[in-house]
Amino acid sequence: MWIKAVDNKNNKNIYKGALVFSKEFKLGKNVKKLRLEVSALGILTVSFNDYDIPDYFMPGWTNYKKVVNLCEYDLTDYAKENNIIRITVARGWYSGRLGYIAKDRVYGDDTAVYAEIEATYKNGEKEVITSDETWRCDETNVVFADFFDGERVDFNKRKFKNYAVEKKDGEIPFRKYSYEPVREIERIIPEIISESEVSAVYDFGKNFSGVINFKAKGKAGEVITVKYGEALDLSGGVYTENLRSAKATDRIKLGKGLCEFAPKFTFHGFRFCEVIKTPKCEIIDLYGVVLSQNLAQTGMIEADNQLVNALFKNISNGQASNFISIPTDCPQRDERLGWSGDAQIFCDTAMYNSDCRKFYENYIDLLTDDCFSDGRVPVFVPFFAKPRIEATAAAGWSDAVTVIPLKHYCFYGDKSIIKKCLPFAEKWCEYFHSAEKGRFNKRKIFNYGDWLSAGEVTDFSVVNYCYLGMSLKNLSRMFIIVGNEEKAEFYEREYLKIKDKFLKKCVSGETILSDTQSAYALAFSAGFMTAEEIKDGLSDSVLRADCHLTSGFLGLRYLLPALCEAGRSDLAYKILLQTTYPSWGYEIANGATTIWERWNGIEENGSFFNPSMNSFNHYSLGSVGFWLYAYMLGIRVDEDGITIKPCFGSGINNAKGRFVFRGVKIEVEWKNLGDGYEYSVKTDKTLDLKFDFHNKIVKKQQKNANEYTFALE
């Protein structure tokens, strides 16, 4: 049963720290299996006898009003005759501060725990220990914990209040936790970049999500404060303005002897931290713990160009930093939400980089949990805001419900995901289509547009038509996958109607309304115009910007692919390798170790952009990762598997990489030989590969069933 602390005084503060629920129990000899099922309204850690489960922030974030994850662990190896289990719970997403609204207690006040320990003996008998009123509940020395505001630990605390335990009323349906947990994925020893008797600024060399661990020695009662930030301000201190209301501060009150700080109930997005202490207090062994979803790496890219290598690293760091239970927009400020627009635009990059099968399966569950019966799809999930139009129906955001499942199918081949999503995807398309009839009326559809574009603004109706078209096309493809030809054809016809309308309303000659890079890229990718038709408009718009990009979140994902398809890979490579504003190279030249939220996060005059919305760790503009894998390396994934189809361009003479597709490792490499290209591909198991070298093959050599080299014009 769900249990909670009995709080006679109705004192909400008891839940601001961490409470430990514990139970001592005996087990007989010959335990064959010991299984723990555990969940929390809050976030939990489990220690069983001497073993600490290494997962962070379980049971993960769900819409706790509707569903909560149930985690399962095998504890057989740690079973003894006399056992003790301790489950420590803090607020986390359940009652800590959430989102840009930054309010706490969104789902409830009081944290709670559910546990069932099942012992199976060799003779087949079973014994079950469940959480109930006989469990203990005590305060811990974690006196405050919050994702945004940090963790406060009092090592000098002497009195730990004991609370009686009672049943927590109300049933919340369980869902089995079935994806990789958040874990420590790396440790970083930082460099001290400035120091005095009472403070030190540490540089971890890259922006990441996580915590720091250290030991400290000093006088009992003395306080150490740690502040976190992504950058340094002009005076060399940690820059915190862009964290908005997130305090991102840990506080440690020392006790007697050596105190070990290893927070488990918060995380920060940071590259720098400042430790403020008293002169005599000694800090020992301070290191950074990088936290992320523990996903297997499936992709790698390397080129003879340092900018490309740095960009690939930044994309991967941005992904790792923002994969904390769900795909989030940013890890540092008071937001950290599962924005669906960001998630859909980046999902194929992520699926190349890592095995995201289960991770997105979970996100898809969260998305469908919160879809509205009239078809609207929230712009972030788990959803907890007022269901106004701007939060529940937006082109490019709500379309996640057609994009992510289809991509998931292409990468992982699981039809059940398509089946699960189809009713929601169909409803969304119907809703979106009906909004078109009202001329994309603001009361039916909200326009974020080509969010955070650089300089050029793409007309909202262009974005809306293109996304409506893409979603109808995706829906038709989803119906083909499940074998429903009739519906597939129906939505193909609906798609053609929208294409017609787009051409009538937004195109004159070959010029698209607003004449921006994103407009051409989106119209081509929606299949509204051919490569030939967009070629001039798109190239002109790039040339006008002096071969720089102007796109925001939505257009960018399609920009370089559209240029390559239109036969202008030369321009795609120029944009890729730019080092002046706006470009990825500009970010790198300004010290970026992740992807920035906006192209002008640091302005050309060196100042920070307005801190009200300026994160240095947003993965969305890293969606170029898709192009790097699919076009630069040439490994393309669709419903029919893998096609090898590279696009070359100047500035890079050698590129190589790998991608593990459904358990098969594909390695590719190409070289510019001056008078042509050499392209080689190798797989570690037999895989049906299709090749498309734009009719430029001079010679093909096949070493064996899994290894090819092509000489190309």
Judged by the rule CB under 6 A, the positions of this chain that interact with ligand BGC are 329-330, 335, 339, 341-342, 448, 451, 618, 620
Q: How far is the CB of 446 from ligand BGC (least distance, A)?
A: 9
Cβ of residue 551: shortest distance to ligand BGC, in angstroms? Answer: 15
Q: Among residues 332 and 402, whose Cβ is nearest to ligand BGC?
A: 332
Contacts of 399 (CB under 8 A, 6+ apart): 344, 377, 428, 432, 467, 470, 471, 474
Judged by DSSP in three states, 275 sits in: strand
Please state, in angstroms and as integers, the Cα–Cα distance from residue 654 to each residue in 313, 372, 667, 671, following that order. 18, 49, 14, 4
Task: Return the structure tokens found at 270.
Answer: 């940071």
Nearer to ligand BGC, 180 or 342 (CB): 342
Is the Cα torsion angle 258, 259, 261, 264 positive or negative in sign? Answer: positive
Question: At its nearest, how many Å lie between ligand BGC and the CB of residue 451?
Answer: 5
Spatial strand order of the sheet with 664-672 comes to: 299-303, 654-661, 664-672, 677-683, 707-712, 697-704
695: left (phi > 0), else alpha (psi -120 to 50), else beta? left
d(Cα 445, Cα 437) in Å, to the nearest integer? 11
CB of 456 to ligand BGC, least distance (A): 18
CA 116 – CA 255 distance, rounded (Å): 35
Q: Tell the smallest beta-carbon distance from residue 396 to ligand BGC (Å).
A: 9
Residue 568 or 618: which CB sits closer to ligand BGC? 618
In the complex, the smallest distance separating the C-beta of residue 336 from ligand BGC, rounded to whole angstroms, is: 9
Shortest separation between residue 661's beta carbon and ligand BGC, angstroms: 29
Tell me if 42 sits within 8 A of 90, measured CB to CB.
yes
Pick the closer one to ligand BGC by CB: 539 or 615.
615
Query: Least distance (Å) from ligand BGC to the CB of residue 329?
Result: 4
Our CA dihedral for 481, 485, 486, 490, rounded to 10 degrees, sits at 70
Write down the least CB distance from residue 591 to ligand BGC, Å.
Answer: 21
Give CA–CA dist 160/157, Å, rounded. Answer: 7
**Cβ 360 to ligand BGC, closest distance in Å?**
17
**Least gap, CB of 56 to ligand BGC (angstroms):** 23
Nearer to ligand BGC, 319 or 620 (CB): 620
Say if CB 670 and CB 656 are below 8 A apart: yes
Query: Residue 582: is the preceding peptide bond cis (ω within 30°)?
Result: yes
Nearer CB in complex with ligand BGC: 553/627: 553
Q: How many CB atoms lie within 10 A of CB 386?
A: 8
Q: For residues 60 and 511, what is the distance between their CA atoms, to the nearest angstrom?
A: 47
Q: Which residue reads 């787009």 in tokens? A: 502
Which of residues 318 and 341 has its CB atom nearest to ligand BGC in the complex? Answer: 341
- Whether omega for the bond prior to residue 190 falls within 30 degrees of 0, making it cis, is no
Q: Please tell me whether residue 660 adopts helix, strand or coil conformation.
A: strand
Minimum Å gap between C-beta 54 and ligand BGC is 30
The smaller minimum CB distance to ligand BGC, of residues 55 and 329, is found at 329
CA distances from 646 to 239, 245, 266, 551, 635 (A): 42, 46, 43, 23, 7
- Decide whether 514 or 615 has the Cβ nearer to ligand BGC: 615
Backbone angles phi, psi at 673, to 5 degrees: -95, 5
* CA dihedral of residues 152, 155, 157, 160 (deg, nearest 10): 80
With both helix axes pointing from N to C terminus, report the angle between 569-576 and 531-544 in degrees, rounded to the nearest 10: 40
Nearer to ligand BGC, 292 or 344 (CB): 344
Q: Which residue is nearest to ligand BGC (CB)?
A: 329
Residue among 339 and 631 whose Cβ is closer to ligand BGC: 339
Rounded to a whole number, what is the largest CA-CA distance in the chain? 82
Tell me the closest approach of the beta carbon of residue 428 to ligand BGC, in angstroms.
Answer: 17
Q: Which of 246, 330 has the CB closer to ligand BGC?
A: 330
Which pair of structure tokens corresponds to residue 467?
């996304």
Cβ proximity to ligand BGC, 45 vs 328, nearer residue: 328
- Asked if residue 525 lies in contact with residue 562, where contact means CB atoms within 8 angstroms, the answer is yes
Residue 88 or 328 with smaller CB distance to ligand BGC: 328
Q: How far is the CB of 552 from ligand BGC (least distance, A)?
A: 10
Three-class DSSP labels, 117-153: EEEEECCCCEEEEECCCCCEEEECCEEEEECCCEEEE
Residue type for position 531:
A
